[in-house]
A = this chain, B = another copy of it.
Amino acid sequence: MDIRRQVGLNVQRIRRSRGWSQEELAFESGLHRTYISGIERGARNPTVTVLRALADALGVGPGRLLDDGPPETASP
């Protein structure tokens, strides 16, 4: 699994769980709307500072954006 793709999926999933549009996430993170779009599609190769901005906006740890497993697959 390409890690850029993984980051894109994670960002998109968490963003949607917040009920946000790409535009809203763009605003919250201080990044451009189309840049968010590119990241979610795995077309971009973001740096750690960008991951940080995204993670802060989404309210998760930066490492969460690189994780393989979805969110918490709650295995009780």
Which positions in A face B, CB cutoff 8 Å?
Answer: 3-4, 7, 45-49, 51-52, 61-68
What is the copy number of this chain in the assembly? 2
Cα A7 to Cα B66 in complex, Å, equals: 13
Cα A28 to Cα B3 in complex, Å, equals: 18
Cα A45 to Cα B7 in complex, Å, equals: 17
Is B63 within 8 A of A51, CB to CB? no
Q: Which B residues touch A66, using CB under 8 A?
A: 48, 51, 61-63, 66
Partner of A63, one of B4, B52, B63: B63
Partner of A47, one of B45, B52, B61, B65: B45
Indicate whether A45 sits within 8 Å of B49 (C-beta atoms), given known contacts A62-B66, A64-B63, A66-B62: yes
